[in-house]
Chain A
Amino acid sequence: MKRLVILAALVAACAPPPKKDYSKLVSSSPRALLVVPVVNKSVDVDAADYFLSTLSVPLAERGYYVFPVNLVKRMLEDDGLSDASLVHGTDPARLCALFGADAVLFVTIEQWTAKFMLLSTQVTVEFNYVLKDGRTGEELWRDHEVGVYASDSGGGGLAGAIAAAIVAKAAPNYMPLARQANARAMAYPGPGFPAGPYRPEYQKDLPPPAVPESPAAAKPATPAASQPPPAAK
């Protein structure tokens, strides 16, 4: 019974939102993506840098060239843009021109919190991702992800639950949740990016253009089929 609950949670986590307008992203077809430092709205001062370290790998695996994030961060600092919110307030076209990028990804941490209760710890992360065009500054793509992990007392008994809470309190681990959120945000088909130029399926996996006459043709091809969750039962 409880297995079912877990399975349901997994399926829900991987289920893509119903529709997304890819027309702007497709017509812009960026090759080189700039990832600028992350704006952090949480109270955890380290969250921005920690989260920044997780973005390059999934993005590059989608087939795009991703500018080295630490180099970008240090260059911006040398340019007087050490505050991420200043960077996010800068004209995307100017930022992209500085590095020769086609588009820039702005990521904001909305939540990065651990709530400690007597018998459990709840860790929550929430992110907003926005990709903007390097020439027009127009928004090309956006996504929003939330990840929650609760360590419940459950069958472990009171002593076990307290031990678990202490372990979690010493170092609540946000990184697996953060990586999962990125994986969900960038998965395609799903909310994420169509294959970039370095993937073999580049330009072969594009959603069919929305044809008003035949709405059935505009449906993305079976979004749920691509990323099967681990066969848990």
Chain B
Amino acid sequence: MRGLLLAAAVSIAACAMPSTTVRTTDTRPSLAVEGAPRGSRLFVDGNSVGDAGAYDGQPAVLLVEPGTHVVDLAGLAPFGCAQNSMYRWGGYDQALYDHYKNPQKRDEFVAKLSGIIQQAEATGGLVPPGCYAEYGWALYEEGRTAEAVTYFEKESKRWPESRPLMEKLIRNAARAKAPAPAAAAVPATAIEEGKK
């Protein structure tokens, strides 16, 4: 098939005028973003391709392979379509994902939750719903019940909807603490095993 086409092309070329111009054009589709806000980032299929303003079509465009692509334009917070985020998530969803992907790296998950809360509190208190409780639960699972209760209380105060559940968890924490007066001396792992 190709051989036949080539032969045809050669035969046509043979008949043509002696001067020939060959232009190679990139036929790939291109994307341009008009009026992108400063600092917004462009994502193609989940991969960042950098500052969206860099592809303004004058003349810079982004070449993509033909086919269907998921194109995201994200503001300062790089997730989904939530352009004006109400909370400072600090990568809460990514922390959960990483935790499910590598459950053995539990310490990292707990540290990440703690970091999200600290960062959000330091920048105006927009701690997302559930974060205090999620962190409190992680502490509770490690047997750090007194600290856990602090965070259950914070969740309850910040989000009235959570109060019935938080009160229940605080009662549970108190019960978990009561029968074992030496709890502080027992390593967290021992408590974990004792629960199973």
Q: Which residues of A are at the interface with B, using a C-beta cutoff of 8 A? A: 2-3, 5-6, 9-10, 31-32, 46, 49-50, 52-54, 56-58, 60-61, 63-71, 74, 99-100, 102, 120, 147-152, 154-156, 164, 173, 175-177, 179-180, 182-183, 187, 198-199, 227, 230-233
Whether the pair A176, B92 counts as a contact (CB closer than 8 A) is no
Size of interface on B: residues with Cβ below 8 Å to A:
56
**A9 CA to B89 CA in the complex, in Å?**
30
Inside 8 A of A120's CB, which chain B residues have their CB? 67
Known interface pairs A53-B96, A100-B163; A230-B86 also in contact (CB < 8 Å)? no
Inside 8 A of B27's CB, which chain A residues have their CB? 2, 155
**A230 CA to B66 CA in the complex, in Å?**
18
As a 0/1 sequence over residues 43 to 61 of chain B, the CB contacts with chain A under 8 angstroms (1 = contact) are 1011000001000010000
As a 0/1 sequence over residues 26 to 38 of chain B, the CB contacts with chain A under 8 angstroms (1 = contact) are 1111111111000
Whether the pair A177, B70 counts as a contact (CB closer than 8 A) is yes
Q: Which residue of A lies closest to B109 (CB)?
A: A70
Whether the pair B92, A50 counts as a contact (CB closer than 8 A) is no
Whether the pair B28, A58 counts as a contact (CB closer than 8 A) is no
Known interface pairs A53-B96, A71-B134; A152-B67 also in contact (CB < 8 Å)? yes
Q: A53-B97, A65-B130 are in contact. List 5 more A-B contacts (CB 8 A).
A: A53-B94, A64-B129, A179-B80, A227-B81, A230-B52
**A152 CA to B66 CA in the complex, in Å?**
6
Inside 8 A of B29's CB, which chain A residues have their CB? 2-3, 5-6
Whether the pair B68, A150 counts as a contact (CB closer than 8 A) is yes
Picked from B32, B72, B161, the residue with its CB within 8 Å of the CB of A31 is B161
Inside 8 A of A148's CB, which chain B residues have their CB? 68
A-B contact pairs, 27 of them (CB 8 A): A5-B29, A31-B161, A52-B96, A53-B94, A53-B100, A56-B96, A57-B82, A57-B89, A58-B81, A60-B128, A61-B86, A65-B129, A68-B133, A69-B96, A151-B65, A151-B67, A155-B65, A156-B65, A173-B45, A180-B70, A180-B81, A183-B81, A187-B81, A199-B86, A230-B73, A231-B33, A231-B35
